[in-house]
């Protein structure tokens, strides 16, 4: 196992040091406004291969290329259409990934052989500075082992990927906390492939009504569509009623995850309140760290109370539902 450097973004020279690792073909975990990414030079196939190795990620899974602005995005994909222009103007930099036809500059390993590429301009200053300093697109999935909850701080990354990544750029907590929304612009009409940081209502304000992809889990276009993904080791269920109606066996150790404070805490070994004021934005930012904290307690069961499915509540419920399916019910997982 090799050593992983952890460098605070505020350390003088930190961005340049990380950029040098990328240019030299290494792996850098870096903060974005959504979750931490595990990045490599998008045009260096050997470096990109190391991402799959580090994540133990199946190779059918295409990566997002992170760029500094729409101009550099055009180097990797076709953003010439009117719809792409309106979207990039409205939402970049920000948590929106656009899937478009790729150019010949993107090596097949990045797109898993697809002729489309996912492109995104992240809104985090450290991510943008890193991309600019490296002076190239950075291919990056979320910096977690395949299938597990995404990391929203540098400690999450270090706990699971230490020794598998050259440098972790520590930029504190990710402000959005759920991954980018993925929108495909490859058919006649835009299609949402993954719910995320830009709620559908916001996209629809710019584009009018948009379709949601209803995935075929055996042949996912985005692993975010796998039935079980973003998952804890401890089984998680989504409760139908409130926490008072929940049946708990004597001696059973249950953790509760809830948007607002519960009426009755004492039946649970641990309670994670995502937002004291019931704010969905704050809840999204806290979701993955809360799931990790509960998962680390080795409880018998986790129970999540549903959150309202508006705005970021849709992405939150999407992640909780994917976390909640038992492994044996998922045809796409071993
Ligand atoms: O917020 C995010 O998007 C984070 C940060 C690091 O940018 N990244 C992220 O990457 O969540 P990842 O690899 O964990 O999820 C990206 C999703 C995958 O489900 C992948 O299949 C999908 O994007 N994707 C990438 N390129 C695609 C393409 N050409 N067609 C369809 N789906 C694509
Ligand atoms: Mg991921």
CA-closest residue to ligand 1 atom 13: 141
pLDDT at 56: 86
pLDDT at 334: 34
- pLDDT tens across 243-285, in order? 778 889 999 999 999 999 998 889 999 999 999 999 999 999 9
92 CA to centre of ligand 2 in angstroms? 20
Mutate to test the pocket of ligand 1, among 42, 222, 230, 287 (most ligand atoms within 8 A of CB): 222
- pLDDT tens across 165-180, in order? 999 999 999 999 999 9
Ranges of residues in the chain with a pLDDT under 70 are 1, 58-60, 213-228, 325-334
Taking the C-alpha atoms of residue 199 and residue 196, their distance in angstroms, rounded to an integer, is 6
Mutate to test the pocket of ligand 1, among 77, 141, 219 (most ligand atoms within 8 A of CB): 141
145 CA to centre of ligand 2 in angstroms? 8
Tokens 């719910």 sit on residue: 195
pLDDT at 133: 98
pLDDT at 213: 65
pLDDT at 82: 96
pLDDT at 331: 41
Q: How far from the centroid of its chain's Cα atoms is residue 126's Cα?
A: 17
- Work out which ligand 1 atom sits closest to the CA atom of 196: 1
Residue 118 Cβ < 6 Å to ligand 1: yes
**For ion ligand 2, residues whose CB falls within 5 Å:** 142
Tokens 């990620």 sit on residue: 57
Residue 61 Cβ < 6 Å to ligand 1: yes
Taking the C-alpha atoms of residue 6 and residue 10, their distance in angstroms, rounded to an integer, is 12
263 CA to centre of ligand 1 in angstroms? 38
246 CA to centre of ligand 2 in angstroms? 31
Please report the DSSP string for 160-191 in residue order. HHTTTSSEEEE--S-SS-SPPEEEE-SSSS-E
174 CA to centre of ligand 2 in angstroms? 15
Residue 152 Cβ < 6 Å to ligand 1: no
| Helices vs strands, H then E, count in the chain | 10, 15
CA-closest residue to ligand 1 atom 22: 222
Q: pTM, whole model, 2 decimals?
A: 0.90
Nearest to 122 by CA among 224, 43, 37: 37
Residue 62 Cβ < 6 Å to ligand 1: yes
């Amino acid at each position: 196992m090799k050593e992983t450097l952890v460098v605070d973004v505020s350390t003088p020279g930190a961005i340049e040091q990380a950029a040098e690792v990328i240019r030299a073909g290494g792996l850098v975990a870096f903060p974005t406004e959504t979750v931490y990414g595990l990045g490599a030079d998008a045009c260096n196939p050997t470096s990109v291969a190391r991402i799959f190795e580090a994540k133990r990620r199946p190779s059918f899974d295409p990566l997002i290329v992170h760029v500094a602005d729409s101009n550099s995005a055009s180097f990797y994909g076709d953003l010439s259409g009117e719809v792409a222009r309106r979207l990039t103007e409205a939402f970049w930099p920000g948590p929106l990934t656009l899937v478009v036809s790729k150019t010949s500059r993107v090596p097949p390993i990045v797109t898993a052989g697809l002729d489309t590429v996912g492109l995104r301009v992240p809104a985090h200053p450290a991510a943008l500075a890193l991309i600019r300093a490296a002076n190239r697109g950075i291919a990056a999935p979320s910096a977690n082992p395949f299938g597990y909850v995404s990391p929203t701080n540098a400690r999450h990354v270090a706990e699971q990927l230490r020794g598998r990544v050259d440098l972790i750029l520590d930029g504190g907590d990710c402000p959005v906390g759920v991954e980018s929304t993925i929108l495909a612009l490859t058919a006649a009409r835009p299609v949402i492939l993954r719910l995320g940081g830009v709620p559908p209502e916001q996209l629809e304000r710019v584009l009018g009504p948009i379709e949601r992809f209803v995935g075929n889990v055996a042949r996912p276009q985005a692993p975010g569509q796998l039935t079980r993904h973003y998952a804890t080791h401890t089984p998680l269920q989504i409760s139908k009623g409130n926490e008072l109606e929940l049946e708990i066996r004597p001696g059973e150790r249950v953790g509760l995850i809830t948007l607002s404070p519960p009426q009755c805490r004492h039946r649970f070994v641990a309670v994670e309140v995502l937002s004291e004021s019931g704010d969905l934005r704050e809840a999204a930012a806290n979701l993955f760290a809360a799931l990790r904290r509960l998962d680390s307690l080795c409880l018998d069961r986790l129970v999540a109370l549903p959150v309202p499915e508006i705005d970021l509540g849709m992405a939150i419920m999407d992640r909780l539902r994917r976390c909640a399916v038992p492994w044996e019910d998922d045809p796409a997982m071993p």
